[in-house]
Structure 1
Amino acid sequence: MPSLASNESTEIWLIRHGETAWSRSGRHTSRTDIPLTPAGEASAHALRERLKGIQFGGVLTSPSLRALDTCRLAGFAWQARIEPNLSEWNYGIYEGKRTAEIQSETPGWSVWTAPIPDGESLDQVAARANQVIETATGIGGRVALFAHAHILRILATCWIGNVPSLAQNLILSTGSISVLGYERSTRAITRWNCV
């Protein structure tokens, strides 16, 4: 388990990208660069008003088009730095498939417990999440992360020092904002899935 060294001035804002056709239909989307739908663009643009007046010491974004466009429409492209470790979980051979479709071939399959051929393990994704946490705490203050559901859910569990598989119990909607911070000196999830 990683060190939970404290920089209590750090507040990490997790911002999930807007809707895509694949997120709407429940298809696993990692490296396929799917654009935002018109509804996704609208929710990303609405983030601009929701984040108005909030100053970030750093803004990091996944390199995917859907995250970059969400960051741009929210008004933070000028400040953003691409962070490859914010890329979504690499689903390997399951890219573009729905869970029910995979389970029809492999009963009981779950992204959280099954091997991902040609992709990443949960532990590999958690290692990337911990690297992002180190980067964010190094920046200090309020830091925004524009990324994806699974990587952000795993990052939240890593932040609180829990096992990454706990992330399966955290729902994260498109266009949502969540915040990681401190309750006194203890790392905490201070807001979750605000839409």
Structure 2
Amino acid sequence: MIRIILLRHGETTWNIEGRYQGQEDTPLSERGWDQGRKAALALKDVPIDRAISSPLSRSYETCRLAADFHHLPVMKDERLTEISHGLWEGIHADEIEARYPEEFRLWHTRPDLVQMPEGENLEDVRKRAREAFDEYAKTYDGETVLVAAHDAVNKAIICDLLGLDMSHFWQIKQDNACINVLECDKGTWRLVTLNSTAHLGYLVSGIEQKGL
């Protein structure tokens, strides 16, 4: 059996501003660094065998804070990179809604039907994330693996491992620096913990971010 501790990165400056960041390499905010340190402390005494992260710095640094307690290097996996929002990246949610009203409406109602202009769709994200997780399950059987990724990546892989298609994307919430736990035993995945934020000092954040 493999156990994956799946993190979302801490808050970024663009999360605060409501900009769509996608694959832009945006930095953690001051609060994001604090969230990352709190997640790391929560995992300090949990046995972890290896650490893997998206190459984007907001996830990598969140992962590194936890990995350092276990004296582990952080491996980078391109398949964990956030969804490419294409022409939406760097733009405020309100401005996207004004420029692309139909696509924006669909993104919040039927995200499975949206192809980001000059970017990806959720099926692209699902395929690469699932390939990564299936590889981890095969290669690291018997281990506990820390994985740090992004909002859309986490939602897509959690849906997929539970047998849900991407139309259920918005039914999964991922707060900044949340902790999820997934296990795979003999090819069967199960969700053990979802969007835990107790280590951040609250059970429910109440935060609804405008941009991913």
- How far 1:96 sits from its partner (Å)? 1.7
- Partner residue in 2 for 1:146: 148
Amino acid at match of 2:173: I
- How far 1:183 sits from its partner (Å)? 9.4
The range that moved more, 108-117 or 61-70, is 108-117
Amino acid at match of 1:170: I
- Partner residue in 2 for 1:3: none
2:152 aligned with 1:158, yes or no?
Answer: no
**Does structure 1 conserve the Cα–Cα contact (< 8 Å) formed by 2:2 and 2:185?**
no
**Does structure 2 conserve the Cα–Cα contact (< 8 Å) formed by 1:46 and 1:74?**
no
The range that moved more, 44-53 or 135-144, is 135-144
The gaps in structure 1 that reach 5 residues or longer are 1-8
Amino acid at match of 1:114: V
The gaps in structure 2 that reach 5 residues or longer are 198-212
Over the aligned positions, Cα root-mean-square deviation in angstroms equals 2.0
Q: Post-superposition, which runs of at least 4 consecutive aligned residues in structure 1 deviate over 6 A?
A: none
Alignment counterpart, residue 101 of structure 2, candidates 92, 103, 107: 107
Mapped partners of 1:48, 1:114: distance in 2: 35
Q: How many residues align?
A: 187
Mapped partners of 1:143, 1:179: distance in 2: 10
- Partner residue in 1 for 2:176: 174
SS for the counterpart of 2:160 is: helix
**Does structure 2 conserve the Cα–Cα contact (< 8 Å) formed by 1:159 and 1:187?**
yes
- How far 1:187 sits from its partner (Å)? 2.5
| Larger fraction in helix | 2
- How far 1:181 sits from its partner (Å)? 2.3
Mapped partners of 1:97, 1:146: distance in 2: 24
SS for the counterpart of 1:119 is: coil
TM-score by length of 2: 0.80
- Partner residue in 2 for 1:126: 126
